[in-house]
Structure 1
């Protein structure tokens, strides 16, 4: 067995109603003044008010930053960091989807003033120290509450990542109730996103692909495969929502240590240029990247197929891997997601630019089971069109 490293959040607390404990957690483990990082959409749900009331009842003073945008640009991170410093907060809470959690990670890292954002992009460049950090996801998709990764939009449309175990939170607080109100389209896109995390982690060519990540990936796919359609179409089903939130977290733990690959590399330019939600971007290219991969590397996909679609166990080898790709495409459709890039009103003449931009995602492409050239990327985009 090859040597490997596995890192994850220090404490994971899961359960219906878990948000009600956030006040006592902050008081016991952080102090009496925190910044809560969230977004404008969350402010309309009542969840932020619930958190604020719980914190106030525990004697915690809260500095609220609620300006996080999807695919957060650098200026949002810097604005939140400056506010946290000025307020003298003792810790940070991220509450919301992946963007809010990613910004919260960087605020906790940058607020002490030891590092600058421009210096921490890349793998292992963030050294800390950071402020204490609690992350509370309200979507079942990114797994950001257990990943050492924060993605920031730089310039007009390019994304860069800060990757370091330093930004893993002290506590990941998961409450399935917080996902009940997610609309079907967001439930679907974030759910497919989480499944992509598990699939790519399992098949990753990273030298740190490891038995722990693979085990977590299969468990994540078992939970999500049996529940995603019910979560999409029956959004208040507690068991389905619990399966999706736990599955998303397990997939996050998996890919945090066995990194994702070409699906994400090709999804990022779609988000950068057209502001397509990250989960939907992944769903649009997923079956086409996998069809490309199974030509030379069918085994991991053949192994995974029955965890998501038990009936595929009747096939073997390459046939099972191919059926897995087809079934994933059908699942996206059954969830109500758009079937192709054309349906997203993406002009066909931009596909070469998308392929060129995808080549910048070297951190991800190196993990793909089959090498991807720019010509390959263009072929995949055309297949997805």
Structure 2
């Protein structure tokens, strides 16, 4: 950990029931009227989009819904939607949904802005130079933390995913209403919740930008998420559990936005790119195996997290770290999430290709506490299979 650090986050966050009404009032107060709501058809079917649209219209705003976003959004869809948002004459963009709509909304706000920048120039770290439209986030899952991160992940080819990381992608405001997560199915609650836990853990163990602010947030996020995941999965209408999960997801997002994630995410991305496994589930499936690989370098930090969660673990860093990993594995089982790659029909003969593709995620691998080689990645996939 270095003495000097930079910590950034979204400047305006509103949390609690009724946050959508606060969003409408905020947009009106900012003089914004033509609102592009970026979402997906699945969320439209739940009625959530209609609820948000009604709140915006009741404040005298003019929302138009753009619902073509799909999981692991391809570049073509994002570019096409940005053109439609520009044609609408939007003066603000609202990302409504899980990680895919929110990530897409960030990029669309740039592409539909006053001086559009070619998408190909944006990939990587710090490469967004164009101004964007005012941008606001309304998450409907408790997992990605995308509402408070400067990161957007898009599908760039048949099977590859790439990230855009820039302070310009921080939204102007995040409005988090736990009531919007009440209808979330148990399997999505499980995978997104486990994803948020990975954000907290990898932030806490990051090699490059670990800092006191992110550490504090990561510990609190992990406490909230581990303490409420199973309850939220099996009692989905429990507002206390839903509030805790959404809050934990948000602050885990703030943590990893400043102390980035590592090899769990690097090995998860090919599962999404090649087999279209939802991102949270991809993380959950490889998480315990990457953590065990990291033990040689990260055991003291995993032991600290075990202490923070007050786990009943034997003395000694290794024993505590192993107890921590075992605890996470049991939480995953109790949540009902699939446990093996074979459980979701990933063929064993694909593991070499997965390992090859994981090695392309240099932005993430460089932050892992232990160097992840191609052979080691293959062994992790084998253990996960």
- TM-score interval (norm. to shorter): over 0.9
Query: What is aligned with 2:97?
Result: 96
- SS of 2:298's partner is coil
Instruction: Find the aligned partners of 2:23 and 2:219 in 1 and give their Cα distance.
Output: 30
Alignment of 1:340 onto 2:343:
no
For 1:365 and 1:311, the matched residues in 2 are separated by 29
Tell me the SS of whatever aligns to 1:162. Answer: strand
TM-score (norm 2): 0.98
User: Is 2:148 aligned against 1:146?
Assistant: yes
Contact 2:313 2:323 in 1 (8 A): no
1:166-215 deviation digits (Å, cap 9, x = unpaired):
01001100000000000110000000000000000000001x21100000
For the residues of structure 2 that align with 1:25 and 1:367, how far apart are their CA atoms?
Answer: 37
Which residue matches 2:201? 199
3-state secondary structure, aligned to 1:246: helix
| Residues 26-45 of structure 1 mapped to structure 2, 5 A cutoff | 26-45=27-46
Residue pairs, 1:10-89, within 5 angstroms: 10-89=11-90
Contact 1:30 1:91 in 2 (8 A): no
Deviation at 1:67, TM superposition (A): 0.7
C-alpha RMSD of the superposition? 1.1
CA contact (8 A) 1:150 1:161 kept: yes
Are 1:261 and 2:262 an aligned pair? yes
Q: Please state whether the residue corresponding to 1:151 is helix, strand or coil.
A: strand
CA offset digits 1:280-329 (Å, max 9, x no partner): 00000000000000023311111112334x23354331011111112211
CA deviation vs aligned residue, 1:93-130 (integer Å, no higher than 9, x gap): 01101100001111111112331111000000002311
**SS at 2:297's partner residue?**
coil
Q: Structure 1: 5+ residue runs without aligned partners?
A: none
Asked whether the equivalents of residues 95 and 101 of structure 1 are also in contact (C-alpha less than 8 Å), the reply is: yes
The answer to whether the Cα contact below 8 Å between 2:106 and 2:169 also exists between their aligned partners in 1 is: yes
1:99–1:25 distance in 2 versus 1, CA, 3 Å: same
CA distance in 1, matches of 2:264, 2:165: 18
Greater CA drift, 84-93 or 361-370: 84-93
CA distance in 2, matches of 1:23, 1:226: 32
SS at match of 1:370: coil
Query: What does the per-residue CA deviation read over 1:66-106, in whole Å, with 9 as the maximum and x for residues that have no partner?
Result: 01000000011101110111111101001101100001111
Contact 2:148–2:250, Cα closer than 8 Å, also in 1: yes
Give the corresponding residue for 1:2.
3
Match of 2:216 in 1: 215
Equivalent residue for 2:190? 188
Q: SS where residue 161 of structure 1 aligns? A: strand
Report Cα offsets for 1:199-249 as digits up to 9, x if no partner: 00000001x211000000001011111111111111111111011000000
Does structure 2 retain, via aligned residues, the 8 Å contact 1:305–1:320? Answer: yes
Q: Tell me the TM-score normalized by structure 1.
A: 0.98
**Which residue number corresponds to residue 330 of structure 1?**
330
Give the aligned partner of residue 229 of structure 1.
230
Q: Which runs of 4+ in 1 moved over 6 A?
A: none
Deviations 1:41-76 (A, max 9, x none): 010111111111111111111222001000000011
Deviations 1:312-350 (A, max 9, x none): 354331011111112211111110011111111111111
Which residue is 1:124 aligned to?
126
> Which one of 166, 172, 175 corresponds to residue 173 of structure 1?
175
Counterpart-to-counterpart distance in 1, 2:307 and 2:17? 29
Alignment length, in residue pairs? Answer: 383
Q: Tell me which residue corresponds to 1:158.
A: 160
Contact 2:78–2:107 (8 Å) recurs in 1: yes
Quote the offset at 1:22 in angstroms.
2.4
- CA deviations on 1:344-377 (whole Å, 9 max, x unpaired) are 1111111010000000000000000000110000
Contact 2:38–2:95 (CA under 8 A) maintained in structure 1: yes
Give me the whole-angstrom Cα distance separating, in 1, the residues matched to 2:47 and 2:229: 25
| Contact 1:97 1:139 survives alignment (8 Å) | yes
